[in-house]
Amino acid sequence: MLIALLAFFTEILPIVFYLIFLKRNRGEGLWVIFLYCILSVLTEILAGILRLPIIVDFYNIVQFTLFSLFFYFSLKDKRFKYIPIIGAVIFYVIAIRNFSNTGFDSFSLSLASIFFIPYCILLLYEQMRDSNIMIVYTDKKFWIIVAFFLYFSGTLFLYIYINTLPKDQQSNYWSINNFFEILKNILFCIAFIMKKRDKSEYSIDNLNPDI
Amino acid sequence: MILLEVTNTGNVSTVLFFGTIGMLALTIGLIVFIIFHQRKVIRYQLKLQRMEQDQQKLLLNASIRLQEEERQRIAADLHDDAGPLLATARLYLNENLVNLDKTTQLQSIYNAKQIIDDTIQLIRNISHSLMPPTLKNFGLESAVNDLFQKISGSGSMNASSRFHDYRERLQAENELIIFRVIQELVNNILKHSNASFVHLTQNTSGSKFFIRLHHDGRGITQTDFNKLNKSNVGLGLKNIQSRLKVLHGKIFFEKDMSQTYYKVTIELVKEEEGKLAEQD
């Protein structure tokens, strides 16, 4: 119960920090993550009040859409831009087919995790190759990607097996999700608090003095 | 769907536990690997930049030293040659003031005139070696032909040049740089190679401008050139490299396939208007 409360509280923190440090976060493409955080909070509140599994299914679809958008806008290499589009099409077909009010849609959630993990690896790979980014962890997007990467890696097996567990044990195992939620939200906060990277200062090109 | 089938709760818990730990370990491992790999790449790039800076400093120092040597040479030429000549001319004219004998006076004036003519010629030679007027007025081809004719004329070696495709002149500054490079290379050949002939050819191939020097003496290969460039000696070669860098050109030193003569090739990129390419 405590960890669930803590998870809910940490979901509010990124929203607060984004608004406090709005100037630093403008123009970095993080508004998608801000929307995602607001959506998470609203879903938690609605799910707590209405207790309908359909809310979680709906949240899953919107979560996938928002992260796919973030992934699409963050990708610099045009050759990879088709990947989130194809992924989204496949996901929507399966999620809408499984969309129901009968229970937790474990399959769609697992599928979303399976899609997001390679997306994160691809984004990290692009960050590594980007010569404009001197040190990768000085970029805000790095922390966002790490947050999603850790969250979806940690909860993948939980989502796969949650429906096979007895009902009384599900809430115990759901603590894993809460733990990774907390971790994800802390990393979001780090991303939002960080100062904007001064592109001129850290560019590798500018380290080449012209004698 | 296979993954969603359950055998029993105990197995599920174990799989869930180890699966989560495994995924977490892999994720953290990957992130740490990315961070450390990038730091390694950055360190390597900084090292390359430091090496480039050191090389540039070396070239700059070489350039400054060469400039000073040139000034010393000019000063020595003026002091050792022009100075005494003019002093002697003054002596003759002074004698004229004292000696009232007309024949002796005429002889002194004539001698002074000869010496002044020689001095004028000397100063002209110094001036031409600094900035050949042929280059400015008639272009690179004429200046190089002129230079090679003088070398041939001196009898030190057989020097010839042939420009195959130089209808449009390059920019004056670029012609001067190329001329200096050729001058430096020819000086090196004269000083060090003991060659009996040197031949220069100019060609154009697409957007590239080539100058090739062949000689039959002792030459250097590209390995020797790179070694000398990195050391503190070989000022002339460093000067060549600095000048070619301005034009974004390349130079290759090699021995011919038949192993009978050495070849130096200068490659420059040419733009359509006849200017040499400027790169960012």
Integer Cα distance of A97 and B159 in angstroms: 87
Could you give all domains of chain B from N- to C-terminal order, each with its CATH number?
A: 10-130 (no CATH), 132-280 (3.30.565.10)
Q: Among B76, B61, B74, which residue's Cα sits nearest to residue B241?
A: B61
C-alpha–C-alpha distance, residues B160 and B198, integer Å: 7
What would the DSSP string read from start to end of B15-82? HHHHHHHHHHHHHHHHHHHHHHHHHHHHHHHHHHHHHHHHHHHHHHHHHHHHHHHHHHHHHHHIIIII
What is the rounded distance in angstroms from the CA atom of residue B106 to the CA atom of residue A47? 123
Helices (H), A21-135: 22-25, 31-50, 53-74, 82-98, 106-129
Cβ–Cβ contact B246 with A under 8 A:
no
Q: Which of B24, B37, B57 sits opposite A154 (nearest CB)?
A: B24
CB B93 within 8 A of CB B104: no
Is B52 close to A208, i.e. CB distance below 8 A? Answer: yes
- Domain extent listing, chain A: 8-18+28-196
Tokens of A192: 């939002």
Can you tell me the distance from the alpha carbon of B195 to that of B211, in angstroms, rounded to the nearest whole number? 19
Out of B5, B16, B31, the one facing A158 most closely (by C-beta) is B16
Q: Does A149 touch chain B (CB under 8 A)?
A: yes
| Local structure of B168: helix, strand or coil | coil
Per the CB < 8 Å rule, is A161 touching B4? yes
Instruction: From A81, A79, A181, A188, select the one nearest A141 (Cα to Cα).
Output: A188
Residue of A nearest to B52 (CA): A208
Task: Report the pLDDT value the prediction gives residue B272, as an integer from 0 to 100.
Answer: 47
pLDDT score, position A198: 64
Mean pLDDT on A170-180: 84
- What predicted TM-score, i.e. pTM, was given to this entire model? 0.61
**pLDDT reading at A151 higher than 90:** yes
Residues of A in contact with B46 (CB under 8 A): 207
Is the pLDDT at A100 greater than 70, yes or no? no
- Given an 8 Å threshold on Cβ–Cβ distance, is B45 in contact with A204? yes
Mean pLDDT of each 10-residue bin along chain B, 280 residues long: 52 84 91 88 88 84 80 83 84 77 84 87 80 84 90 86 88 87 89 88 88 88 83 77 85 81 83 46
- A73 pLDDT higher than 50: yes
> Which pLDDT score, from 0 to 100, does residue A207 have?
44
Q: Which residues, at least 6 apart from B135, have a Cβ–Cβ distance to it below 8 Å? A: B142, B143, B175, B176, B179
Give per-residue pLDDT as tens, B117-164: 888 888 887 887 777 788 888 889 999 998 898 888 888 788 999 999
- Cβ distance A164 to B12 less than 8 Å, yes or no, reads yes
**∠ at Cα B225 (B223, B230), nearest 5°?**
100
User: For residue A185, is pLDDT > 90?
Assistant: yes
- Bridge partners of residue B205, in order along the sequence: B208
- Please report, for residues A106, B108, B193, the alpha-carbon distance to residue B113 in angstroms, rounded to integers and kept in the order given: 110, 8, 41
Amino acid identity for residue B212 in this structure: R
The bridge status of strand B208-215 relative to strand B197-205 is antiparallel
Token code pair at residue A12? 């509010």
Chain A residues inside the 8 Å CB shell of B39: 135
Beta strands in B132-261 (DSSP E): 158-163, 197-205, 208-215, 250-255
Euclidean distance between CA atoms A175 and A181, whole angstroms: 9
Higher pLDDT, B19 or A51: B19
Mean pLDDT for chain A overall: 83
Look at residue A75 and tell me whether its pLDDT is greater than 60: yes
* DSSP three-state, residue B199: strand
How far apart are the C-alpha atoms of B143 and B177, rounded to whole Å?
A: 12
Kindly identify which residue of chain B lies nearest to residue A125, measuring between CA atoms.
B34
Q: Which chain B residue's Cα is nearest to A128?
A: B38
Dist CA B115 CA B109 (whole Å)? 10
Q: Please judge whether A124 and B31 are an interchain contact, meaning their C-beta atoms are less than 8 angstroms apart.
A: yes
Q: Pairing between strand B197-205 and B158-163?
A: parallel
B32 touches chain A (CB under 8 A): no
Predicted pLDDT at A52: 74
Residue that has been written with the tokens 């000048």 in this structure: B243
pLDDT at A150 over 90: yes
Joined together, the tokens standing for residue B143 give 């200046």
Q: Which residues of chain B does A105 touch, with a Cβ-Cβ cutoff of 8 Å?
A: none
Confidence of residue A203 (pLDDT cuts 50, 70, 90): very low
Contact residues, chain A, for B15 at CB < 8 Å? 157, 161
**What was the pLDDT predicted at A149?**
93
Question: Which two structure tokens, joined as six digits, stand for A51?
Answer: 């207790």
- Taking Cα atoms as reference points, which of A74, A9, A1 lies closest to residue A40? A9
d(CA B48, CA A14) in angstroms, rounded, equals: 41
pLDDT tens-place string over residues B39-66? 888 888 889 999 988 888 887 888 788 7
Q: Does A134 touch chain B (CB under 8 A)?
A: yes
The token pair at B184 is 């430096």
The minimal CB distance from B9 to the residues A165, A209, A211 is found for A165
Q: Nearest CA to CA, how far is A189 from chain B (Å)?
A: 19
Reported as type and span, the H/E element at residue B243 is helix B235-246
Percent of chain A with pLDDT over 90: 24
Cβ A106 vs Cβ A159: under 8 Å: yes
Residue B30 to residue A124, Cβ atoms within 8 A: yes
Which of A134, A153, A165 comes nearest B42 by C-beta?
A134
Nearest to B12 among A136, A161, A209 (CB): A161
Interchain CB contact of B9 with A (< 8 Å)? yes
